[in-house]
Amino acid sequence: MRLRFALIISTFLLFSFSATEPLRVFLIGDSTMADKIPADFPETGWGMPFAKLFNEAVEVQNHAYNGRSTKSFRREGRWAKVQSQLKKGDYVFIQFGHNDAKASDTSRFAPAQTDFRANLIRYVKETRAAGATPILLTPTQRRKFDSTGVFVDQHADYPNVVREVAAQEKVMLIDVEKASKAIIQQEGPEGAKKLFLHYPVGIFKKFMKGVADDTHFSPYGATRMANLVADALNNSTEHLKSFLKKSDFTQKYAFELPNVAGTAFKKDTFNIVQYGAKSSIGLLNTSAIQQAIQVANEQGGGVVLIPAGFWISGPVRILSHVNLHLAQGAVLQFSNNPKDYPLIRTNWEGVDAIRAQSPISALGARNIAITGQGIIDGAGEAWRPVKKGKLTAGEWEKLVRSGGVLDPKKETWYPSAGALKASTLDQPGVVAAGFTELNTEEIKEFVRPNMISLRECEQVLLEGVTFQNSPAWNIHPLLCKHLTVENITVKNPWFAQNGDGIDIESCEFVSVRNSRFDVGDDGICIKSGKDAEGRKRGRPSAHILIENCVVFHGHGGVVVGSEMSGGVHDLFVRNCQFLGTDVGLRFKTARGRGGIVENIFIRDISMKNIAGEAILYDMYYQGKDPVATFGNGGETPKIELLPVNEGTPQFKNIFVDNVVAKGAETGLLIRGLPEMPIHHIQLSNLDIESMQGYRVIEAKDITINQAKFTETGTKKSELYHVKNWKLN
């Protein structure tokens, strides 16, 4: 009896111990996988971010080491150290090939078809003999292009041998060579540099003389490689994949969230005072600021410093490798004289148009930033029309006395007669409507600029600065890649027409974090072009993360549309607050736009005092203030069935979780088209107080789990032409 009891106890203890032991993953390979010490930064082996892609039940031991081949890794006793620890249930990721090809080094050289093949087979068999599971990985590719831009392979037979051994030994293969090659080719000769160690002199301690290394990874490149390995594992049948870390978005893993490449600048500082700038209300510093930017760019980049003071300027352009830095106490005040802003061909609301040049712009620049604790003011009062109904009687009287002209009904103030004239024209400033720089001059005040215009730029940072009082949109990145927005403040008067906070248009790989918006139109807006022009451009906004942001005022908190003809996908929004916006989560489009909005993931949203809808999906956008349109007592559009064509938009595959809203006109409004219902929308954990709970029209496959709609008005929730509606 005692023996039996002892066996039970020992078995219990054994299983208790086993349950608390981590599942172990061993990485063996060369420098592209290896851990680096802080002094090596920014050099990063892909094994470093890979270790963070598993949950706490997995222990990743990175035994990869710089310069090692299948031969030298074993000869130096590194494999013996791993092998002595292996037990049943462990995994070993095996990636060699870079150094096996070094024929001039007999300590490492292992010919592909003989020694390299034999070494791989031996690693596999010895891993299995210990009860562990081997996984073979082909080597990562290097960045190599010929003079015509054609990719050049440098791996010879080594990747194919790995593939053949994996097939022969029935081992899982992760073909990193093939996947990394595709990424490098897609990025092209210049774009692929951000994957590797390409930095000028004077940035990082280890590389003070600069570095151009096409083998070893930057933090961004290492993360990109780690993510593709995790993705391959997730698509396998291996037990290990069940330990991949989930993100806050329950439908996605951590490795699936957007990966944004950062910026890096030389420490060299170019103070605008050294180029003739003076803090004064009577001096225009345009030339001094632009000269400082030009010199910094020509000398390989650096920091253009705007020190504490009051600096007036006309429009300036930021060039590659320049960080425009505003010190605390600096106010960069842009001129209120439209004559200082030449007319240029650009893009406005998704179409090609003639506009006044933006106060700050960049075109085709790489590695740029606007940072600091200062303030940028766009002198928007010199440009914006103002509606009488949005001001008090005293404010209106003061505005009228300041100059400008009124429309015939005396309900709208314009800064000039030309601006008033433009308001009566069809598509003023639009190139397709026949406008040129010459015939637009008369209406210049109407074609007001966006304050910050960043077009076709890559690796952009906006950090710390307050952007305020823009003529039109505050910040407009267009066709940009790898944009980081961190801890900025964006302000416009609440009555500022087209006074959006940030409009991210046809951009990819974007992070907007820890920022505040208090504006006159949409707060954080995602766009991708308008109608036929947007569809022809065909550039979606995609791979965007918005988190820890507050929108205090605006037509919408986080907004998609209405110009979304190029599509929007893989948008992630979490932990944001909307306090006093007209609409909270606002998805808007109309017939003629086309485009698909899909794979949208939103969670942890808090709202208060929403004038219109807390959550809105609307395909009948009318170009009006949301509190004056349908859903809030305004006009109802005609709903009719029309044929589906290229101009038919779609909203689908949208997931929203954990929304609390106290005070709204309507909790949820979904309004699709009869020919294209809004479909596959899943909302969970809603707690919404509103006059009307929900109104759903022309929709299908709508699932709402654990929702509480507290209706404070007399109008009951409504469903019209809805299929597969599930409210739990």
Dist CA 275 CA 161 (whole Å): 60
What is the pLDDT, as a whole number, of residue 20?
A: 64
Question: Of residues 503, 521, 522, 604, which has the active-site annotation?
Answer: 521
Q: Has residue 555 got a pLDDT over 60?
A: yes
- Parallel, antiparallel or unpaired: strands 23-29 and 91-95: parallel
At 235-291, the pLDDT tens digits run 999 999 999 999 999 999 999 999 999 999 999 999 999 999 999 998 999 999 999
Query: Which residue do the tokens 């009051």 mark?
Result: 310
Q: Has residue 363 got a pLDDT over 70?
A: yes
Report residue 100 CA to chain centroid gap: 39
Q: Has residue 618 got a pLDDT over 60?
A: yes
Judge contact between 701 and 674, C-beta under 8 A. Answer: no
CB < 8 Å & 24+ apart, contacts of 129-133: 130/83, 130/86, 130/87, 130/88, 130/90, 131/86, 131/87, 131/88, 131/89, 131/90, 132/26, 132/86, 132/87, 132/88, 132/89, 132/90, 132/91, 132/92, 133/90, 133/91, 133/92, 133/172, 133/238, 133/240
Q: Would residue 521 show up in a list of annotated catalytic residues for this protein?
A: yes
Amino acid of residue 412: T
Q: Hey, how many other C-beta atoms are within 10 angstroms of the C-beta on 142?
A: 21
Taking residues 153-167, what's their average pLDDT? 96
Q: Has residue 8 got a pLDDT over 60?
A: no
Q: Would residue 555 show up in a list of annotated catalytic residues for this protein?
A: yes
**Residue 402, preceding peptide bond in cis (omega within 30° of 0):** no
Percent helix, strand, coil in the chain (nearest 5)? 25, 35, 40
Reported as a pLDDT band with limits 50, 70 and 90, residue 1 is very low
Judge contact between 618 and 669, C-beta under 8 A. Answer: yes
Taking residues 639-668, what's their average pLDDT? 96
At 578-615, the pLDDT tens digits run 999 999 999 999 999 999 999 999 999 999 999 999 99
Dist CA 381 CA 474 (whole Å): 13
Reported as a pLDDT band with limits 50, 70 and 90, residue 634 is very low
Distances, alpha carbon 332 to alpha carbons 156, 313, 553, in Å: 56, 7, 24
Taking residues 479-484, what's their average pLDDT? 98
What is the pLDDT, as a whole number, of residue 636?
A: 66
Closest CA to 192 of 209, 210, 211, 215: 215
Taking residues 552-562, what's their average pLDDT? 96
Q: Please, what is the average pLDDT of the chain?
A: 94
Reported as a pLDDT band with limits 50, 70 and 90, residue 630 is very low
What proportion of the chain, given as a percentage, has pLDDT over 70?
95
What is the pLDDT, as a whole number, of residue 638?
A: 76
Dist CA 540 CA 528 (whole Å): 5
At 486-519, the pLDDT tens digits run 999 999 999 999 999 999 999 999 999 999 999 9
Q: Has residue 7 got a pLDDT over 50?
A: no
Dist CA 395 CA 661 (whole Å): 33
Amino acid of residue 575: N
Distances, alpha carbon 53 to alpha carbons 91, 138, 469, 688, in Å: 15, 20, 42, 35
What is the pLDDT, as a whole number, of residue 15?
A: 40
Q: Has residue 12 got a pLDDT over 50?
A: no
Question: Of residues 216, 553, 555, 679, which has the active-site annotation?
Answer: 555
Sheet containing 91-95: order of strands: 58-62, 23-29, 91-95, 133-137, 172-174
What is the pLDDT, as a whole number, of residue 639?
A: 81
Reported as a pLDDT band with limits 50, 70 and 90, residue 627 is low
Polymer length of the chain: 728
